[in-house]
Amino acid sequence: MTDALMGLIAAAEAEARPHFACADCDLPNGCPEYCWCGVPSVEAAEAMGAKGGQAGDGERLAFEAWMRGHCWALCATWDGKQYRSDAEQGGDVDPRAMRTRQLWAAWRDRAALARGDAQRWR
């Protein structure tokens, strides 16, 4: 196959992929959903926020290290599924533990978006 033919095939494949507006790219047709700039599409981010991303223990431990690096207290304990404080065991809501859950969700979802997991949630 010639280089010219391979270039035409690549261009046709790129045109067939969905494109999205991306403030970080200046491609004429916008970004493909997961492009080289590393910024997820608005649509992928919204889908991820609606459903939540997947993460394992490694991602959780990285989040906890990131929190320590910022000198931010977790204010909650991982119970195997989520972060909860002792005060919440009776059904009350602890605002500090809720903040930890919000930060965890943001960390987890952004990591999942970076891996391209949002395609699974569409």
Summarised one tens digit per residue, pLDDT across range 21-30 is 555 555 555 5
Return the SS3 of 121: helix
Which helix (H) or strand (E) segment holds residue 20: the answer is strand 19-20
Model pTM score: 0.64
Which residues in 29-110 belong to E strands, given as ranges? 31-32, 77-78, 83-84
Task: Return d(Cα 27, Cα 32) in angstroms, integer.
Answer: 9
25 vs 116, more confident: 116
Which pLDDT value is given to residue 122?
44
pLDDT digits (tens, 9 = 90+) for 32-71: 554 556 677 788 888 888 888 888 899 999 999 999 999 9
